[in-house]
Amino acid sequence: MAAGHTEKDSANQKLQFAPFCSALEAGFWHQLTQKKLNDYRLDESPKSIKGYYYNGDPAGLPTRLTLEFSAFDATGPTPARCCPALGTLYNMNTFEAFKSCDKKALLEKEANEIWEAVRSEKVLEDPSLLSKFLLLTFADLKKYHFYYWFCFPALCFTEGIQVVEQPVTLEEKFSPKQIAALQVSYDALCSDIGTTAIPYFLVKYTEEAVLVSPLKDWDTFFQGQKKVTVAVYDPCTLSQHPGWPLRNLLVLIATKWGSAVDAVEVLCFRDQTLQGKRSILHSIMLQIRLPELSQTAGCPKSVGWEKNQKGAMGPRMVNLSECMDPKRLAESSVDLNLKLMRWRLVPSLDLDKVVSTRCLLLGAGTLGCNVARTLMGWGVRHITFVDNAKISYSNPVRQPLYEFEDCLSGGKPKALAAVDRLKKIFPGVVAEGHNMSIPMPGHPVNFSGATMEQARRDVEQLESLISAHDVVFLLMDTRESRWLPTVIAASQRKLVVNAALGFDTFVVMRHGLKKPKHTESGGSTPSSASSTPASGSASDSASASSSSTPAGSALVPGSSLFSNIPGHRLGCYFCNDVVAPGDSTRDRTLDQQCTVSRPGLAMIAGALAVELMVSILQHPEGGYAIASSSDDRMNEPPTSLGLAPHQIRGFLSRFDNVLPASLAFDKCTACSPIVLENYERDGFQFLSKVFNSSHSFLEDLTGLTLLHQETQAAECQARNYLTIRPQPNLANPVGYWPRECIEKYKYISALVQLVRLYGSLVFPRGVSAL
């Protein structure tokens, strides 16, 4: 160390440098990924890359070396007013190679190159050789984890560098005139050189003038001055410390001119523009005394590996799966799209409720495919299919989850093919398929012990599937197959959404959701629709089933028959029927003719089924929500998404929908108390009786048989009722509405009453016979 013991106390301070902090643009990793996949592949040889640093940061920002996605173009342009830093990339093929790479040797190699450049004076021509860096990387492209470790090699003075005076700002040191002169001179030098930033330069100043010059002109510029001023383009914003680029410059000066100068003044040049206003006032000036450094002594000690986020010597890792893993991108994009709805259009939308709903789709045909797609649109992740059919050649054009290829060699099972396709459409989906049959009333299973056993297993599986899901969609093509899941879901208090198609008509409905079981033990049977909620009287199933009064005749005073029905009193798919399912010889209801339907119908009905579910989920009472009717279309909607109807009946010929609501029927063959009691008490034993018996078993059980005998007269009444309405066209009573709005709704209400009271009698006979 040069003799400096006469200096003040502050002289004992050693100069400290703010290290570079690596700063990587997201695009850098994208580009590295591309390079690795397309260019480097398994090539681990060093690659030239390029970064830059900037001296115009506002206070508080770290001293950064930035690499953008353009970093791989080492000859490319540097951003304006930034200094380039050339680097070497070592991209390793394996994590092992990354770990075991000899970092010390890499640093020493780089330090030696800098040392050589200093000794050979190559740096004078190209000062950027002083600010080189190393980057060691390993890209785990399966997980999109990037491991990296930067090194900013700096040669060291063993004894450190003595600070002669505390650093001061340029504003304190220079007069405004000098500052302006410096700025002008610097800009002039920039334009001389043809650049917008100069990493190192020399400064001479008097009271009147400030001159600057490139590093290489040292000898002519200073002409033997003992006290010199050098400037470094300083990316640091700290008021007491210079940034990293100064380190190797000082080594250069000490090596080359150390013996010729006594004192070195360093201008840490900082050049900021805020709101269009430029300032270099906050640059700092340092007074230092440089130790001597012999050119012949060999390369000095070097440092430079960057510490990690924990402040320890170690590499860093960044996990970019969110922005690079296509699956994660798909998920976040889907979610973001949905969130947009919430942000602006429906702020109170509870998306989590929808997204987390586990949906069981019974049937993977035209309805099932469309329901699944709409569910995915809503971000629903958990979708399970049950179907026993194989894909046939007619399917793909109507069933959007299948392709021609799926039909070959007998066809793939629908439930499984649908799952595969869902995962292809959106890998984030949790889909499951079950290729199984659902036992049906009137379809005997008692041919052999084996068939009974199979039926028992099927029932058990269906029970456990329904139990494992939140919403059950009934999307089958037969009426009978809906019976068992209706019973099980009613018993398990699961929300059921049912969709069924006619030729150009459809019904989409939610089943009434029975009150939770523990409240029933209070003595009343709420599912018995004939008991008024107010009375709370115990109407046991026996009296209910023996009653010949149609459900709904006992009303809350003041409310009309079909308005304001709470969710637990709503009917199910079978409540409107006065025949038990399972008999295909009798007149089919409208929605039984589903094999032939207008092609757009399944898409409409499937979409509506999902939208109905979503609206119900948004209602604070969920499945217990009071049913909205067509009349409510003018009223304040009960949910953020609008109405919560019981049924949507659509008439494609008229391009019209109506929203009927109907009460649970105490003689319903699926959800009446007596059926549920029998199922819950006797389980498969009861179910197998239903499967193996004719339809009369359920009709006898529920009291429908008795009711049948009373329907004749009522039907006549119904016909009269229809005929006295103004202008109904009896050849087409469904499709034709009187013009006046009020009349229309009256008419619908009347029709709904008829449907409710006489179920299958009205629609098929109304359509076919009249």
Positions in 531-590 near another protein (CB under 8 A): none
Instruction: Give the shortest CB-35-to-another protein separation in angstroms.
Output: 14
Q: Is 314 among the residues that bind another protein (CB under 8 A)? A: yes
The DSSP code sequence of 613-681 is HHHHHHSTTGGGSPPB-GGGGGSPPSBTTB--BSEEEEETTTTEEE----BPPTT-TTTSHHHHHHHHH
Instruction: Give the shortest CB-327-to-another protein separation in angstroms.
Output: 13
Q: Rg of the Cα trace of the chain? A: 41
Instruction: Give the shortest CB-356-to-another protein separation in angstroms.
Output: 18
Q: Which 343-402 positions form the footprint of another protein (CB under 8 A)? A: 343-344, 347
Q: Which 458-517 positions form the footprint of another protein (CB under 8 A)? A: none
Q: Is 591 among the residues that bind another protein (CB under 8 A)? A: no
Other CB atoms within 10 A of residue 92 CB:
17
Among 178, 195, 332, 435, binds another protein (CB under 8 A): 332
Q: Which 664-693 positions form the footprint of another protein (CB under 8 A)? A: none
| DSSP letter assigned to residue 341 | I
State which residue, 323 or 538, has the beta carbon closest to another protein: 323
User: Residue 169: CA atoms inside 13 Å, Cβ hemisphere, count?
Assistant: 12
Choices 86-94, 271-279, 466-474, 519-527 (CB under 8 A): range interacting with another protein: 271-279
Q: Which SS3 state, helix, strand or coil, does residue 132 take? A: coil
State which residue, 273 or 584, has the beta carbon closest to another protein: 273
State which residue, 35 or 756, has the beta carbon closest to another protein: 35
Return the residue matching tokens 């239903």: 690
| DSSP letter assigned to residue 533 | T
Instruction: Give the shortest CB-30-to-another protein separation in angstroms.
Output: 5
Choices 138-146, 205-213, 442-450, 568-576 (CB under 8 A): range interacting with another protein: 138-146
Q: Which 92-111 positions form the footprint of another protein (CB under 8 A)? A: 98-100, 102-104, 107
Write the Ramachandran bin of 81: left for phi over 0, alpha for psi from -120 to 50, otherwise beta: left
State which residue, 301 or 708, has the beta carbon closest to another protein: 301
Return the residue matching tokens 């054009």: 397
State which residue, 150 or 573, has the beta carbon closest to another protein: 150
Instruction: Give the shortest CB-311-to-another protein separation in angstroms.
Output: 5
Instruction: Give the shortest CB-4-to-another protein separation in angstroms.
Output: 18
Q: Is 62 among the residues that bind another protein (CB under 8 A)? A: yes
State which residue, 305 or 402, has the beta carbon closest to another protein: 305
The strand pair at 647-651 and 656-658 is best described as antiparallel
Q: Is 24 among the residues that bind another protein (CB under 8 A)? A: yes
| DSSP letter assigned to residue 344 | I
Choices 182-190, 340-348, 381-389, 441-449 (CB under 8 A): range interacting with another protein: 340-348
Single out the catalytic residue among 83, 594, 668, 671. Answer: 594
Q: Is 312 among the residues that bind another protein (CB under 8 A)? A: yes
Instruction: Give the shortest CB-61-to-another protein separation in angstroms.
Output: 6
Q: Which 231-260 positions form the footprint of another protein (CB under 8 A)? A: 238, 240-241, 247
741 annotated active-site: no
Instruction: Give the shortest CB-99-to-another protein separation in angstroms.
Output: 5
Interior angle at CA 437, CA 436 and CA 442, nearest 5? 170
Q: Is 23 among the residues that bind another protein (CB under 8 A)? A: yes
| DSSP letter assigned to residue 433 | E
Instruction: Give the shortest CB-371-to-another protein separation in angstroms.
Output: 26
Q: Which SS3 state, helix, strand or coil, does residue 135 take? A: strand
- The amino acid occupying position 716 is C
Burial class (CB in 10 A: 0-12, 13-18, 19+), 21: middle
Choices 52-60, 391-399, 620-628, 700-708 (CB under 8 A): range interacting with another protein: 52-60
Q: Is 18 among the residues that bind another protein (CB under 8 A)? A: yes
Is residue 502 within 8 Å of 527, Cβ to Cβ?
A: no
- CB environment 447-462: b (16+ within 10 A), e (fewer): eeeeebeebbebbeeb
Choices 9-17, 179-187, 451-459, 476-484 (CB under 8 A): range interacting with another protein: 9-17
Q: Which 157-216 positions form the footprint of another protein (CB under 8 A)? A: 160-161
Strand order in the sheet with 358-362: 430-435, 382-387, 358-362, 471-474, 495-501, 505-510, 647-651, 656-658
Among 40, 52, 200, 305, binds another protein (CB under 8 A): 305
How far is 762 from 758, CA to CA, in rounded Å?
A: 6
Choices 262-270, 304-312, 472-480, 489-497 (CB under 8 A): range interacting with another protein: 304-312
Choices 215-223, 312-320, 479-487, 705-713 (CB under 8 A): range interacting with another protein: 312-320
Q: Is 263 among the residues that bind another protein (CB under 8 A)? A: no
Q: Is 21 among the residues that bind another protein (CB under 8 A)? A: yes
Q: Which 274-303 positions form the footprint of another protein (CB under 8 A)? A: 275-276, 278, 301-303
Q: Is 20 among the residues that bind another protein (CB under 8 A)? A: yes
- CB environment 480-507: b (16+ within 10 A), e (fewer): bbbbbbbbbbbbeebbbbbbbbbbbbbb
Helices (DSSP H) in 120-195: which residue ranges? Answer: 122-125, 170-173, 176-193
Instruction: Give the shortest CB-510-to-another protein separation in angstroms.
Output: 32
Among 307, 358, 654, 744, binds another protein (CB under 8 A): 307
State which residue, 319 or 768, has the beta carbon closest to another protein: 319
Closest CA to 406 of 419, 392, 394: 392
Instruction: Give the shortest CB-60-to-another protein separation in angstroms.
Output: 6
- CB environment 238-257: b (16+ within 10 A), e (fewer): beebbbbbbbbbbbbbbbbb
Closest CA to 400 of 430, 365, 427: 365
Q: Which SS3 state, helix, strand or coil, does residue 55 take? A: coil
Helices (DSSP H) in 273-348: which residue ranges? Answer: 321-324, 326-340
How far is 422 from 372, CA to CA, in rounded Å?
A: 8
Residues in Cβ contact with 453 at an 8 Å cutoff, skipping those fewer than 6 apart: none
Question: How far lies 281's CA from each of 52, 199, 270, 278, 616, in Å?
Answer: 23, 18, 8, 9, 65
Choices 318-326, 441-449, 557-565, 707-715 (CB under 8 A): range interacting with another protein: 318-326
Instruction: Give the shortest CB-149-to-another protein separation in angstroms.
Output: 8
Instruction: Give the shortest CB-248-to-another protein separation in angstroms.
Output: 12
Among 128, 225, 308, 711, binds another protein (CB under 8 A): 308
Using CB under 8 A, count the residues that bind another protein: 83
State which residue, 143 or 227, has the beta carbon closest to another protein: 143
Q: Which 69-88 positions form the footprint of another protein (CB under 8 A)? A: 69, 79-81
State which residue, 186 or 205, has the beta carbon closest to another protein: 186
Q: Is 310 among the residues that bind another protein (CB under 8 A)? A: yes
How far is 763 from 732, CA to CA, in rounded Å?
A: 11
Among 6, 38, 42, 60, binds another protein (CB under 8 A): 60
Among 43, 292, 322, 682, binds another protein (CB under 8 A): 322
Q: Which residues lie across from 387 on neighbouring strands?
A: 435
Is residue 233 within 8 Å of 116, Cβ to Cβ?
A: no
Closest CA to 306 of 625, 18, 728, 49: 18
Choices 53-61, 362-370, 565-573, 749-757 (CB under 8 A): range interacting with another protein: 53-61
Q: Is 142 among the residues that bind another protein (CB under 8 A)? A: no
Q: Is 224 among the residues that bind another protein (CB under 8 A)? A: no
How far is 414 from 387, CA to CA, in rounded Å?
A: 6
Q: Which residues are part of the catalytic machinery?
A: 594
